[in-house]
Amino acid sequence: MKTKRARKFLKSGLVASPDFKFTGDEPTWHNIPEERRERHLSRSLGFYNYYLDRDDYIPIMQEFMKNNSKLYSDNDIKVIENVPKTCGIFNTTGKLCRCFNMGMPLFNTYPDIVKENIKIIISEAKAELALKKNSTEKKVSTSKKPNVHAVMTEKVRKNVLCELEGMLDEWTNVKAKIKKFPIASVLRGENIPIAFLGPIVEWLERHKNDYTDAFEKRCPDMVEGFSYLSKPQLRNRIKALEETLNEIVLYKASKKGSRKLRAKKPKSADKQVARLNYLNESKEYAMQSCDPTRIIGADVFYVFNTKYRRATIFKAQSRDGFTISGSTLKGFDANKSFSLTLRKPKDILPILASKTEKQIDKELSKLKTKRNPANGRINKDTILIKSL
């Protein structure tokens, strides 16, 4: 569904994993030894098969082609958007491209497989584009102006009401996970005017009333029609529809308030950390740095300068978390962040690496070492302990 795709990627650029308890977070390729690469790749392919679909792989493949711009022209990168849905190798190639974009080393025959597959995909996309062009040229041109009302009505039907109907079909399964439809995101994405919200509100209220009639046993037909659902299951469906209606009320208010400003598109996590200078491994303290892409969007970040034995605790200034520019950490709260010299680093570092934020704060409060203002600079002597 379109609404699901809109929320598949986090602000950091990583794939969102709402079922992380079962699937884990998106696999990265930081410090993966050679003997574990095949197994790690298998896990990565399974993860992307679970969360992504065909349309998600188009920008992923284009990013891979841009990173290898010597092999592909701008036209090749653009034409990928026209690849036909019958292209059987497209999804697998997209998954491998995502792995390479996330830092997967060039090993085995996978680089050659991707290059050959992309050649085939480009060829099929060009053929599909030519077919579309010929089909368009055959159409009789007309000077009649489009009916804006009809266009918007069709957009509401196709991109909102049809999606709601699909949600309702899923709800017929008694084991379905019930959650509110992200109506505000859809309406903002399609830029639906307030004047066209009527059919959507009518649809939601009608189905909410049907479930309510069955729940309160006001209508025998509804009671019989939803007899396969228990009272808690009916209550969950009613609650989800009520929350969706409330979101529409808020959308109306925001639409009336002010014009939406165009926000600058943030850089992906891997691009932000591309020039980050840090110590990958310290044999003296038997520590390895964490994956730097995990810093982006985090709330708390711990580092240790091995040269000066100085630990720094960064706490984010806002819910957007941290960003990185070059080798400088941005977005930390100067009042809550601090650094201190560790007299016995080997006693404190295991605490920073394994404990929770509250536990760490408690242990650090016992130290009598003077706290100094945090500096966002990260250098070649700095171990990235972890981010939360």
In three-state form (DSSP H/G/I as H, E/B as E, the rest C), the secondary structure along 176-188 is CCCCCCCHHHHHH
Report, as an integer, the average pLDDT of 185-208.
87
Distance, CA of 215 to CA of 235 (rounded, Å): 7
Q: Is the pLDDT of residue 40 over 50?
A: yes
Could you tell me what percent of the chain has a pLDDT over 70?
A: 94
pLDDT at 75: 92
- 1: pLDDT confidence band, cut at 50, 70 and 90? very low
Task: Compute the average pLDDT of residues 73-92.
Answer: 90
C-alpha 189/C-alpha 352 separation (Å) is 42
pLDDT of residue 260: 54
Q: In which band, very low, low, confident or very high, does the pLDDT at 369 lie, cut at 50, 70 and 90?
A: confident
The residues with which 107 forms a beta bridge, in sequence order, are none
Backbone phi, psi, residue 178, to 5°: -90, 120
Phi, psi of 177 (to 5 degrees): -80, 115
d(CA 283, CA 286): 5
In the DSSP assignment, the letter for residue 321 is -
Phi and psi (nearest 5°) for 323?
Answer: -130, 165
Rounded to whole angstroms, how far apart are CA atoms 383 and 290? 8
How would you label 82-99 residue by residue, b for 16+ Cβ within 10 Å and e otherwise? bbeeebeebbbbbbbbbb
Percent of the chain exceeding pLDDT 90 equals 31
Nearest to 240 by CA among 167, 310, 190, 188: 167
Query: What does the pLDDT look like over 304-350, one tens digit per residue?
Result: 999 999 999 999 998 888 999 898 999 999 999 999 998 888 888 88
Q: Is the pLDDT of residue 2 over 50?
A: no
Instruction: Tell me whether strands 338-341 and 281-282 are parallel, antiparallel or unpaired.
Output: unpaired
C-alpha neighbours within 13 Å on the C-beta side of residue 115: 11
pLDDT category at 3 given cuts 50, 70, 90 is very low
Q: Look at residues 71, 65, 60 and name the one whose alpha carbon lies nearest to residue 98.
A: 60
